[in-house]
Amino acid sequence: MNKLVIASNNPGKLREIAAILAPLAIEVVTQGALGVPEAEEPHCTFIENALAKARHASRITGLPALADDSGVCVHALGGEPGVHSARYAEDAPSGRDEQDRRNNVKLLQALSSATDRSAHYYCVIVLVRHADDPQPLIAEAEWHGEILREPRGSGGFGYDPLFLVPEFGRTGAELQPEEKNRVSHRGRALAQLVARLRASQ
């Protein structure tokens, strides 16, 4: 495999994925650079949405495709926002940063009276070699923490400013990118995938 399309237009995800895949010497190109529109994500599970995105990008480009589906699952909210994490709040017309801010505000409002603030990030990574691949490579991981009452930190993206990582005493947004990639849900899922790709080379 010499070239791979990433089925995402989220700049934060793209940075993290490209950094972890870099040692494989695979040319990574984003679906946006190839004119691939975003896939529908109508499913109620992360795995189904990730598969839909990967197959969509592969079918249009003819390339192997990697897709991530991830989100934060808050225990007091029955696992919400879950698969709806990216668009938990009303869609923001002015871009990803404003969407993240709205999502964080809505989450804080939903948890305003909650005493249990435990949560976990979940990520599933799917790689299809072609659109109809009957054996996609699948890797998954969770990252456990709790939701603060106000944001901290300027790094990361999504819910990172609210997500306290107990072993560090810092939020996802206060971790350096290298630290986050080592311990996060996406970082560990991608590390599993990289190990499997190396083993098959």
Which domain, by its residues, includes 92? Answer: 3-200
Domain tally, the chain: 1
Q: Band of the pLDDT at 53, cuts 50, 70, 90?
A: very high
pLDDT the model gives residue 42:
87
pLDDT the model gives residue 201:
62
What is the C-alpha to C-alpha distance for residues 103 and 87, in angstroms, rounded to an integer? 7
Instruction: Please give the share of the chain, as a percent, with pLDDT higher than 70.
Output: 100
Give the count of alpha carbons within 13 A of 184, CB side only: 31
Edge-to-edge order in the sheet of strand 163-165: 27-30, 3-6, 65-74, 118-128, 137-147, 163-165, 170-171
| 69 part of the active site | yes
pLDDT the model gives residue 132:
96
| Selection from 169, 117, 114, 164 nearest residue 143 by Cα | 164
pLDDT the model gives residue 61:
96
State pLDDT tens for residues 66-106.
999 999 999 999 999 999 999 999 887 778 889 999 999 99
Residue 2 pLDDT exceeds 80: yes
pLDDT the model gives residue 93:
77
Expressed in percent and rounded to 5, the helix, strand and coil fractions of the chain are 45, 25, 35
123's tokens: 């990520």
Catalytic residue (choose from 69, 100, 132, 133): 69
pLDDT the model gives residue 17:
84
Residue 59 pLDDT exceeds 90: yes
What SS3 state is found at 128? Answer: strand
Q: What is the mean pLDDT of the chain?
A: 92
User: What is the CATH classification number for the domain harbouring 12?
Assistant: 3.90.950.10
8 Å CB contact between 69 and 8: no
pLDDT the model gives residue 11:
79
189's tokens: 């899922």
Residue 33 pLDDT exceeds 80: yes
State pLDDT tens for residues 110-158.
999 999 999 999 999 999 999 999 999 999 999 999 999 999 999 989 9
